[in-house]
């Protein structure tokens, strides 16, 4: 499965390194994290990581591979 997680604002390189398994791009005042997600536990772990870093998730969706 591949997912896209959009967070509000532009993430610094330091914050981006907290998600080594995902690529990222910045666009329109948001950072888009994207890449493979192994299973549901991995997905919830990514969301928990966002929350612990104070990132506001504005959208999350599964995308075609």
Please tell me the pTM assigned to this model. 0.91
Rg (CA), the chain: 11
**Phi then psi dihedrals of residue 3, to 5 deg:** -125, 160
What's the confidence (pLDDT) of residue 31? 97
What's the confidence (pLDDT) of residue 58? 97
Residue-wise pLDDT for 9-59, tens only, equals 999 999 999 999 999 999 999 999 999 999 999 999 999 999 999 999 999
Q: Is the pLDDT of residue 65 over 90?
A: no
What's the confidence (pLDDT) of residue 54? 96
Give the integer Cα–Cα distance in Å for 25 and 55: 15
Give the integer Cα–Cα distance in Å for 58 and 2: 17
């Amino acid at each position: 499965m591949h997912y896209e997680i959009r967070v509000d604002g532009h993430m610094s390189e330091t914050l981006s390194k907290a998600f080594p398994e995902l690529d990222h791009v910045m666009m329109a005042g948001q950072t888009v994290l994207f890449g493979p997600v192994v299973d549901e536990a991995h997905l919830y772990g990514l969301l928990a990581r966002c929350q612990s870093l104070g990132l506001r998730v504005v959208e999350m969706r599964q995308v075609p591979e």
